[in-house]
Amino acid sequence: MSFICTLKMNKDIPPEQVKNNTKNSENSPESNKSAGGLKDFLSKPIIKSDSRYVQYSGLGITLAVVILVFLWLGMKIDDWLGTSPWFTLGMTMLGFFGGFYNFFLTIQKLTKEDDANRKAKYGKK
């Protein structure tokens, strides 16, 4: 906005010079001091997502949520069709096996990454 207003007022000056001479330019150090610090602070995550503790605890939470969602879905289907325990049991088992399959694959992937990082850091062992 300041670029357009300054350009209209300074018709004889090329746009490159007008942009470099304005104080409210995005590249000026005056505008970056106050906004840059706050922006940097707010854009940093509170917890590192590459932390192994967060990844492994997320696996447990995911497993529990998948089982509970399939349990709830089975209960709703049983209520809708009037087949008391069968869809609840079936959907719970499906959620259980699907959740553990995902758990197993993710653990394998994380273990391979840990082994590769360990070999790169310490050499073959």
Say whether both 9 and 60 belong to one domain: no
Say whether both 116 and 57 belong to one domain: yes
Predicted confidence (pLDDT) per residue in 100-124, tens digit:
999 999 999 988 988 888 888 887 6
**Structure tokens given for 47:** 């917890």
Predicted confidence (pLDDT) per residue in 30-68, tens digit:
444 555 677 777 777 666 666 777 788 888 899 999 999
Q: Looking at the chain, how many residues does it have? A: 125
| Per-position b or e across 43-80, b if 16+ CB within 10 A of its CB | eeeeeeeeeeeeeeeebeeebeebbeebbebbbeebee
- pTM for the model stands at 0.55
Neighbours of 82 (CB within 10 A): 6
Say whether both 80 and 115 belong to one domain: yes
Domain range for 105 is: 52-122
Say whether both 114 and 69 belong to one domain: yes
Residues 109, 41: Cα–Cα separation, whole Å = 32
Please state the domain count of the chain: 2
Say whether both 61 and 118 belong to one domain: yes
**Structure tokens given for 33:** 């001091």
